[in-house]
Structure 1
């Protein structure tokens, strides 16, 4: 960090160069951790505009880092609040929300009807096994006992049901 005239830093810039590691540690301890280098760089940029003599340069630089960390923290909080406000449904008109909800419900009902129709077309026992496994949460092993089939037969019926539903999903795409 040389002075803008190309000669070695003097005055406040020299003290900054000497204190730089301590300033980075100070910013990190204050919570800037990953951004500590950036905070100190911001201080360096502000420092270059200071022309008046500073009575206590060490305290002045520490205070600049403190202020820069607080400014960065406030900025991050404002950005997070702004992002949250934009993502909040409160920004949407009520009828837009109701319309979107109604559309989603209609699509869900239509999709469920199509799934049910495909399962009816698939027939039993595959449809019954699928429902017991996916909806009721019965394990494949218990289904094998319940239906009097081998585990591999249960798996075969589930694969058939999944294939039918996968076709339905591809039809929608």
Structure 2
């Protein structure tokens, strides 16, 4: 694109200034893959949301949008980690000294939880189930799961959220005695 030619949309500005925006994102995320994902998210947002909107200063507008996406990603990651901690805390892992205090009632309750969870997993869409099992059972990180399934990191996060909601629903029902 020549210097005289003006980009026709915000998405065109994003593409024209791509290296600059990538550097901005890498500096904030410290991960080139995450930076590329965020740039794709921004491009999709600009294509869908901005349309033919006229912005007097498109570059600062896009920088602000990217900064917001980075912050959203940080919040999402924090929430994901918190859910993982909550899951672990509620799961009350078996510490060596706790094994002696397990009652038959606790064993029956845990078995019931397992059966209900397996039923819920069976009712989940295949990809959601596969992502959840890869993350929780196989211990794969989200980036690896995204690569294995050919989806974005945000897609993996959404599948995990869906699965966690189902599991939390089961726990709530069991805790309420339903």
TM-score of Structure 1 vs Structure 2, range by shorter chain? 0.3 to 0.5
TM-score by length of 1: 0.47
TM-score by length of 2: 0.46
Choose between structure 1 and 2 for higher RCO, CA contacts under 8 A separated by at least 6 residues: 2
Higher Rg of the two aligned structures: 1
